[in-house]
Structure formats: structure tokens, C-alpha cells
Amino acid sequence: MSTTYDVSHADLAPTLGARLADGFRVALVSGAEDDDCFRVVYVLVRAGDPPVELALRVPKDEPTIPSLARLDYGTGRFERELRDLYGITPSGHPLPRRLVRHGHWPRGWYPMRRDAGPPPPFDADVGAFPFLEVEGEGVYEIPVGPVHAGMIEPGHFRFSVVGETILRMKARLWFVHRGVEKLFEGRRPGDAVELAERISGDTAVGHTTAFATAVEDALGIEVTERDRLARALLLELERMHNHVADLGALANDVGYGIVNAHALRIRESLLRLNKATTGHRLLRGGVGIGATRIAALPDPATLEAVAAEVIELAEITLGNSIVRDRFTGTAVLGAESARDLGTLGYVARASGIDRDARRDHPFVDLGDRFQVVVETGGDVLARYRVRVREIAVSAAVAGDLVHRLSTGTGTGTGVDSNTAAPGGGHGLGLVEGWRGAIAHRVEMDPSGRLSRVKIVDPSFFNWPALPVALADTIVPDFPLANKSFNQSYAGNDL
């Protein structure tokens, strides 16, 4: 359970700055609307400590907060999100541009406010998209997306290029903003689980576990160790099938198709294993509020066999001198940039940032074979290697978890939250999904319904790292660099 401190406008920056200096990081900034005021909650986390929340009350007639963008880059982006969705203005923000709302969204309409009502009619998206134009002899721009030649999610990338070398890249996201956080409001937690499973389709377990943990934190539900073990197992299964698919896709992006064919075959075997485990190929239906339902435990031998195959596949991939040349030194994200931007997950770990919520904020002991994989190169090769090694760790950890789970009997012993005792309160869920640490913060009203859910996918922190890594990369290497980050559009856009 987190500790909440009320802070005033004047105290906010010094208090938060002191916490940051103590090694805390801002995991989440959530707006909320009360009857008489807005509230902005800053959630700070540090390895081994309970989370700390700073709550700032903002009057409705003059919704302004002091900007902390100069203290913490990620907070600056949360503030822009707050301005777009709640109409709370960060004063003194160094880059007070729209983030979530594209230019053609109606002015003065803030969708997260209680009185927002249904969306007003939108104008055509004809407005200019502001970005820093690079000028000079031979500089030209390449607009890419949001509709791409392949079947990928929508994102617009504006490259300023000399010859084939990228000088600057600006990403425009939020094409798939669905208003997910608003959709949570008013639901009973048990009815919101299926929504959490669909925040980002490839991270069903990660987001659902974070959501369930937050609700359990708010309602004071104790989850049995057995169910926590089962959740850890599902998280590792999710990590494995996503990592395998991306290892194949990275090889495919450099034209090494045979590796992709085999990666897809391995992934298919994992998806079938998932189907047997929870009844769904992408592991939906496993995690519930206060409960974890597993139909059958996967065979640890199968998982170990998959890990062995992946290692062989990685050896074949990196044994190809052309592939290795393409991966090495491409799109380097330095450790300092990675730390300053607050990157998470394998993107951070490939740049030497030792950060993993499984160790820093554990909800269950994963056993002796769990270790945090860190590489220091920061290039495509390092991100590739982190993920290869993480598959091996995941298979080992999952095997141990299966062993511990199979010694007991019965699963799914949790409570059905819809009948759980109602009560106000708030809770936080912090879970290492396959892309990195996912944070959910929920607020409940006294009738037991969700009044506010704030979701942070690691991609929100990691997207700004991509343009930084692209400096001095060549245009034809962009897809490879982008795939090595493989960030979620849906999880970012919400």
C-alpha cells in the first residue's frame, strides 16, 4: 500500500526533486476529478520501497500546475497528456505542445472531464503538423505512415535526411487513441478485466495483472501465493511468445527469412501451449481480480526445448556475418540518454540500465534461476541479445514455477470482486510486462465502482528514446531500429 502526501503548488517541485535525488522515479502521473477540484497524483517508486504518492489539488476555475518537465523528462510528457485530456495547464512547460490530441481535435474539449459529454464533431485533419524543420543544402524530408506498406500499427514518422543519413526523426502517435481510461470509469472491477486484457493485445497478462493488482491493493484483497505464482508463470509465457516473434521479425527485416519462418513455428508451438494453459492463444482469461485461473500447467520440458531452439536460432542468426553487421552499432541508445528519458524494459537493459520490476517490485519470489539480463551496447545487437537471454531465463523461471504449482492442488481460489465488499480507496499495480514495467493506478468510489484508472505502458517512456537512438542512423536501417525497440502503439495511445 502506498503512502500519500498532500502537497501544495509551492512544495511540489522541491518535494518531488528530493525524492528523485533519493533514487525514486516517477512511474505515473494521474489526473482525477473530484466534486470541488481536480487532483494530480504523482506516483514515485524505488526498488525495495513502497510507492510514494504526492497529491496536488488544483482548483477547477484555474486549473494550473507547476511544470516539473525540467526535473524529469517523463513527467513533462505526463503534464502534456494532462493538459490535453483534463485541460490542466502546466505553467512554465518548455514544450507546451499538444501530445495526445491531434491538431484537428476541437479546442476546449477535454474528454476526461466529467462534463465532457459525447465527442463533438471533428474537423478534417488538415492542420499543419508542427515539427522542427532542418534546413540546409541537400536536406529533405521523408514522411512515412501512418498507413504503411505492411500490416503494422499506425504511426507517422517524419525524417529529415541528408542523403541516406537521418538528421532528425519526429514520431507522431496517438492515431489509435480509443479513450480506454474513460471506458474503465463506472465499471465494476470484475467487468473491467476484459477491457484490461485489450489495452494492448500482445500484453494481455501484463496489463491485466497490473490492473488486478491495483484493484486488490485498493480493496485490500489478499491473493494466495499460489495465484501469485500462477500470474508470474503467465507473465513469463507472455514474455516468451513475444520475444520469439520479435527475434524472427528482426531477422526478417534484414532479409534473413528462414529464421523468421522458424521463429514463427516456435511461436506457434508456444501459442498452442498458451491455449492449453488459459484457453486463449494470447493468454486472455487467466488473470482475474483476486484470482488466477489456469486450466492446465504447461510442461516444463516443452519450455526448455523451446528455449534451446531459440538459442540455436539466435546462434544461426548472429553467425551470419551480414546479419551481425546489420545489427552491430545500429541505432545506439547511450546509457545516459536511456536513464534521462526514463526508459524501461529491455530497451533500458540493453543500454546498461539495470531495471526490472520483477526484482525491484516483486509480488512473488521467482526462485534462484531468475536473473536480470543486462547488456551495455545499446545497439540493435544488444537489444537482440537481451531478449535471447531473457527467453532462456523465462523458460527456467517458468519451469520452476510449474514445479512449485504442481505440488499443490486446485487453482482459481480467489474472490469474485463484483461481490466483494464495496469501499472507496485507491491502489497501485506495478508489473514487469514483456516490454517493461507496466503501472496501473485505480480509484474506487464507495459503491465499489472504478472512478478513475490510469494506465502507463512502458512504451510511453520508451517512444522518445527511438529518435535519440536514430541520430546518424541511415534511413534503410530505420525499420530494424524500430523493430528492435518494438514499442506498443495501442498501449501508448490508449
Residues that bind another protein (CB under 8 A): 140-144, 148-151, 164, 251, 253-258, 261-262, 265, 320, 322-323, 325-326, 474-479
- Judged by beta carbon, residue 328 or residue 337, the one nearer another protein is 328
- Judged by beta carbon, residue 439 or residue 466, the one nearer another protein is 466
Q: In whole angstroms, how close is the CB of 143 to another protein at the nearest point? A: 6
CA distance 63 to 475: 43
- Judged by beta carbon, residue 78 or residue 256, the one nearer another protein is 256
- Judged by beta carbon, residue 166 or residue 212, the one nearer another protein is 166
Q: How far is CA 32 from CA 51, 440, 443, in A?
A: 18, 14, 9
The residues with which 341 forms a beta bridge, in sequence order, are: none
395-431: buried (b, 16+ CB within 10 Å) or exposed (e) per residue? bbbbbbbbebbeeeeebeebbebeebeeeeebbbbbb
C-alpha cell at 60: 477547477
Strand-pair category, 52-59 with 64-66: unpaired
- Judged by beta carbon, residue 460 or residue 478, the one nearer another protein is 478
Q: In whole angstroms, how close is the CB of 472 to another protein at the nearest point? A: 12
- Judged by beta carbon, residue 159 or residue 460, the one nearer another protein is 159
Q: In whole angstroms, how close is the CB of 149 to another protein at the nearest point? A: 4
Answer whether 33's CB lies under 8 Å from 39's CB: yes
Conformation bin of residue 72: beta by default, left when phi > 0, alpha when psi is -120 to 50: beta
Helix (H) or strand (E) holding 5: strand 3-7
Q: In whole angstroms, how close is the CB of 283 to another protein at the nearest point? A: 26
CA distance 143 to 212: 40
- Judged by beta carbon, residue 38 or residue 157, the one nearer another protein is 157
Nearest to 82 by CA among 102, 61, 96, 103: 96
Q: In whole angstroms, how close is the CB of 123 to another protein at the nearest point? A: 22
Q: In whole angstroms, how close is the CB of 254 to another protein at the nearest point? A: 4
Strand-pair category, 156-162 with 139-144: antiparallel
Q: In whole angstroms, how close is the CB of 315 to another protein at the nearest point? A: 15
